[in-house]
Structure 1
Amino acid sequence: MKPFLIAFAAALASNTFALADTPVTPTEAEKIRAALEVFGCTGGKMEKETEGSGYFEVDDAKCKDGQFDIKLDKDFKIISMTRD
């Protein structure tokens, strides 16, 4: 049972790191900030999804109506806003 648990833990850890999001570049951050400003939003943690989708995420952006998690497409157009 112990070897199985060790193998399972190793597989889980490797998958977690493979799907982790990556930081955005300064140029990407500037474009994301410009897209958020249109909706009256600022701040938040910006990340690029590494799942091959090319999407960007902003966690905990502060907007006029509260705090939101925002998803943008590869062209920096907002496709989803979820209230936190």
Structure 2
Amino acid sequence: MKGLRALCLTGSLLLVAGSPVWASDDLTEEEIERINAVLGEMQCEMDDDDIEKEDDGFDLDDVLCAEGQFDIKLDTDFAVVEKRAE
């Protein structure tokens, strides 16, 4: 019985230790709304799943705009700091 308990505990710890930490990368609803507002002003749109939160702001992949498709970087104040055509 002790062996089984130790095996279960070890397995649980491995699952927790091996799992990626997503909490710090999670976007808030407010951040998603602000990003979509910025994109709306630029006549652009994108899938919310293509937003990546970074230390210095946000990386937006596959943004569809009236003039084409772009990758866009926003700073922490939601200002565009880079816009490159794909």
Same fold, judged at TM 0.5 (above): yes
Q: Which runs of 5+ in 1 are unaligned?
A: 1-16
* Aligned equivalent of 1:43: 46
More helix by share: 2
Name the count of aligned residue pairs.
63
Secondary structure in 1 matching 2:35: helix
Secondary structure in 2 matching 1:30: helix
Q: How high is the sequence identity, in percent, across the aligned residues?
A: 38
* Aligned equivalent of 1:6: none
Secondary structure in 1 matching 2:77: coil
* Aligned equivalent of 2:11: none
Match of 1:26 among 29, 32, 44: 29
Q: With the length of structure 1 as denominator, give the TM-score of the two structures.
A: 0.66
Q: Which runs of 5+ in 2 are unaligned?
A: 1-19
Q: Which 4+ stretches in 1 moved above 2 angstroms?
A: none
Q: With the length of structure 2 as denominator, give the TM-score of the two structures.
A: 0.65
Query: Which protein, 1 or 2, shows the higher relative CO under an 8 Å CA cutoff with sep ≥ 6?
Result: 1
Larger displacement relative to structure 2 (64-73 or 22-31): 22-31
Tell me how large the CA RMSD over aligned residues is: 1.9
